[in-house]
A and B are shown apart, each in its own frame.
Chain A
Amino acid sequence: MIRRLLDIDKVSIRVQGAKKSTAHSVLVNSVSCHVNAGEVLAIIGANGAGKSTLLNAIAGDIAFTGNITIDGVSDQAKLRARQIAVLPQLSLLNFPYRVSEVVGLARIPHDSGRQRDDEIVQEALTLMDISYLSERLYTELSGGEKQRVQLARVFAQIWQQADAPNGTRLLLLDEPTAALDLGHQKLLMGAIRELASHGVAVVMVLHDINLAARYADKALALLCSERLAFGTIEQVITRQNIKSLFDVDVHIAQHPEHNSPVVIGL
């Protein structure tokens, strides 16, 4: 039983305040794609292609034309926050919260009680391998540690299927691996797959094509605000598409253990 959780239909986004639609005022031009519950979609493309802008539109932060439909989404802000969690590209937090307090903020929209919230926070910290940082001040952490704290926070926000109205859970991640080392990239991707296996739909902007190829079910390639390709990994990650996206010649090999393609720069 496939449930189409997120449906993006001909979505266009313009620069705010731009009157005429010139080539530069269109950030995203009539892009369509969809994600089923339990699937991971990777958005790939060059810098400035509109990946983060599209993610922000899905998160409801910016105005767009076209339709973005999230199946079973609540129209109440508090309930919607139990369904959709968003990891922004840049964290602005510069107050000396303890790490456990930052992750605990994720439980604001929930009514699950202090004790259960504390348990979920500890589980999310363990999942992101930062339980040893629990009582440290957020402002003292390194970039990668901060990133893992923010990831633990968004995970804790949609931790339980039972908390989410209609069982709708959508996770939006903007470059979640940007500050992470190889080991923690693998840890994060494992956590994302684990969430997906429990019916969460995940949309993430990724720069690492091989991570996308290895862990995502589908990919959306954006080229200059427009959709270049959308489909399974094999359909999207091809020599021609990589050449068009990044102007780089590559060889596509096969992963020695998995079936996924591996992009090798030439």
Chain B
Amino acid sequence: MHSVGQQQVFSNRAIVIGCACALLPISFFLALSFGTVSISFSDTLWSLLNSVIVSEPASGTGLISRTDLIVQQIRLPRALLAAVVGALLGICGATTQGLFRNPLADPSLIGVTAGASAGAALTIFFAGSLTSLSGLPGLGLVSIGAFVGGSIAVILVYSLATNTQGTSVATMLLAGIAITALAGSLTNILEFFGDEQILRRISLWRMGGLDGASYQRVAIAAIFGSIILVILPRFSTALNALLLGESEARHLGLSVQSIKIKLVLLVAAGVGISVALAGTIAFIGLIIPHMIRLLIGPDHRYLLPISALGGAILLLLSDTIARTIVSPIELPVGLVTAILGAPFFISLLRRRHEFGMR
């Protein structure tokens, strides 16, 4: 008894999944090809193939050509990092919105993003004089700082909002606002006392940027990112039931309290990693899941993976624009995602009644 409407949903899903799968390699290729130095598509493709088939160098001299250097050493790691970070932001946003039963919730609302960047800023401030932060130990230190800061923020928000009765979503959101304000003012104080170089580093971090991309960062992102991207979709059914309400989900046989703790920690880890590796990038975790939900509905079995794909596509395209629009100057990608995202989001809000959202 499948009606026309149901087939409509299935074909909608198929179209959206197909588009996302096609757009990801296209946007990835655009990110490699465009930049301050424009490289033709055929050269980009050739260089990419070269990097895969390393056994046979293109020229007999053993020297790496300029094109190969740009594509393989600068743009490829950056594009890979953008894809993973975008995917993490997309899937973490979708998870947070399900967890809070609010289609407008976002990891930054529960204080994870602010906590992570405060942790990063603290590390830059205190460790900046000890080690040079450009090296791998420095980068690792800042990453750990961001990760710890994000986790502390979540644990703090969570312990404020949770008691034996369960977690109050409203209290958690309010606590998140308080933590965001606290972490923000902490970062501001550090900026006030920091010297010019520290100031610049901290503010670049806060605006977001992928310019520090390297294969080391890509490796960290790939390992931890793929763990989170694999684990989160396992909670799809639980998130579907949670949308009904917490006691309803419990009556459907789910151990709601433990599921919520796991989801909160996974989101903290995902956002912490992305902040550590690429700084604060706004709007992706808010817009992508919202947009996908309007297209295919709130079923998390589809929403989570497609949000990951959509986040990767949006961040790749945004970063390409950030690198090229006022070339040779690079804009922080967070500015571009906000400028791209905000009008789109507003137009979705205006049309929300067509999709049954209030």
A-side residues, CB < 8 A to B, are 16, 59-61, 77-82, 84-86, 88, 91-98, 100-102, 105-106, 108-109, 118, 122, 134-135, 137-140, 157
| CB<8 Å pairs between A and B, sample of 22 | A59-B251, A60-B250, A61-B247, A77-B250, A78-B253, A84-B251, A86-B247, A88-B245, A94-B101, A95-B101, A95-B298, A96-B356, A96-B357, A97-B299, A106-B252, A108-B240, A118-B1, A122-B1, A135-B3, A137-B356, A139-B358, A157-B251
Nearest CB of B to A219, in Å: 24
Instruction: Indicate with 1 or 0, residue by residue over B160-187, a CB within 8 angstroms of chain A CB atoms.
Output: 0000110000000000000000000000
Partner of B244, one of A59, A93, A137, A139: A93
Instruction: Indicate with 1 or 0, residue by residue over B210-249, a CB within 8 angstroms of chain A CB atoms.
Output: 0000000000000000000000000001001101110110
CB neighbours (8 Å) of B6 from chain A are 98, 100, 134-135
Partner of B247, one of A88, A93, A96: A88
Whether B252 pairs with A108 at a CB distance below 8 angstroms is yes
Which residue of chain B lies nearest to A125 when distances are taken between CB atoms in the complex?
B1
SS class, residues of chain B in contact with chain A: loop
CB neighbours (8 Å) of B241 from chain A are 105, 108
Partner of A93, one of B4, B245, B250, B293: B245
Partner of A139, one of B5, B8, B245, B356: B356
A77-B255, A85-B251, A122-B1 known; A92+B101 contact, CB < 8 A: yes
Nearest CB of A to B352, in Å: 9
Q: Does B9 contact A (CB under 8 A)?
A: yes
SS class, residues of chain A in contact with chain B: mixed
Whether B253 pairs with A80 at a CB distance below 8 angstroms is yes
CB neighbours (8 Å) of A80 from chain B are 253
Cα distance, A94 to B245, chains bound together (Å)? 10
Q: How many residues of B contact A (CB 8 A)?
A: 33
Which residue of chain A lies nearest to B248 when distances are taken between CB atoms in the complex?
A88
Partner of A97, one of B5, B247, B297: B297
Nearest CB of A to B155, in Å: 23
Q: Does B150 contact A (CB under 8 A)?
A: no
Cα distance, A109 to B252, chains bound together (Å)? 6
CB neighbours (8 Å) of A16 from chain B are 164-165
Nearest CB of A to B63, in Å: 57
Nearest CB of B to A154, in Å: 9
A105-B241, A108-B237 known; A98+B252 contact, CB < 8 A: no
Would you list the 4 A-B pairs with minimal beta carbon distance, nearest first?
A135-B5, A81-B253, A137-B356, A96-B356
Partner of A105, one of B1, B9, B252: B252
Cα distance, A75 to B243, chains bound together (Å)? 25
Nearest CB of B to A59, in Å: 7
Whether B297 pairs with A98 at a CB distance below 8 angstroms is yes
